[in-house]
A and B are shown apart, each in its own frame.
Chain A
Amino acid sequence: MTYAEAVAMYPHDEVFIQINETERLMTPAEYEAFIQRQVDYLPFP
């Protein structure tokens, strides 16, 4: 998945971090790391 594809698939306002029962939007740094994880992901096995 390319960076642009990841951003299109997971817009910033549609991905959340959950702490116990509370969800919040990601910070810019968290979102950047999340998108990079999608780009780097290799299916297993």
Chain B
Amino acid sequence: MPLTTYTAGQVLTAASLNANFSFAAGNGMSLISATTIGTTVSSVTVSSAFSSTYDNYQIVVSGGAPSGAGTNLELTLGATATGYYSQLNYATYNNTPAAAGVANTTKFTYAGSGYSGGLAMSCFVGSPNLAKATVVGAPLMSDGFGGNFNGILQNATQYTAFTITSSNGTLTGGTIYVYGYQKA
């Protein structure tokens, strides 16, 4: 049922209001969790992020600060420490694009960044809780360069958790938001 828009003087029925709530709940993305990053942590695990409720997810990190410059936010799923394949196409601003790829490594290396403005991640995670490969895609946003990161973890493990690890130093503050894409 489409969203109902009311006009002045119109009678608002419970059925119509509930239909609008259903419309709102069944469209777009739903916030699953918001985890506040602590002080001087090297990694943060979100243990109940993925489930059968959603097939696809978005992990967003903002705020906070890395202890060192040029930090990457690395992503791992569950306890898996092998089989991550990924590719980053990037460029320092106003320069010729370059690329960095890794095959069968221990993590998704460039899922996000930590720079002078804080932590930045907006990582799509496809089918982590399904018995099939998990794919990721993320813009890499930083003060020194920008890029596009994509990868695949080709196993049939049904993950519920993920961990974000700082490539160097520690992280303080900021929030990890996990959203689920509504199925229909």
Q: Which residues of A contact B (CB under 8 A)?
A: 10, 14-21, 23, 26, 34, 37-38, 41, 43-45
Contacts and interface: CB of A to CB of B under 8 A. Distances in A.
A17 B168 contact: no
Given A21-B35, A44-B72, 5 more contacts: A15-B41, A16-B39, A21-B38, A34-B42, A45-B98
Nearest to B46: A20
Listed from nearest, the 8 A-B pairs whose CB atoms lie closest are A41-B168, A18-B44, A18-B41, A23-B38, A43-B70, A16-B41, A19-B45, A18-B38
A45 B90 contact: yes
A17 B43 contact: yes
A45 B170 CA distance: 19
A29 to B, nearest CB: 13
B42 A16 contact: yes
Interface in B9-54: 35-48
B92 interface: yes
B144 A18 contact: no
B40 A19 contact: no
A19 to B, nearest CB: 5
A20 B42 contact: no
A22 to B, nearest CB: 9
Interface centre among A10, A21, A45 (most CB of B within 10 A): A45
Interface centre among B48, B98, B144, B168 (most CB of A within 10 A): B168
A20 B98 contact: no
B169 interface: yes
A23 B168 contact: no
15 contacts: A16-B40, A16-B41, A18-B37, A18-B44, A19-B44, A21-B36, A23-B38, A23-B39, A23-B41, A34-B42, A37-B167, A43-B69, A44-B72, A44-B100, A45-B90
Contact of B169 (A21, A23, A38): A38
A15 B145 contact: no
A44 B57 CA distance: 27
Contacts of A19: 44-45, 47
A27 to B, nearest CB: 12
Contacts of A18: 37-38, 41, 43-45
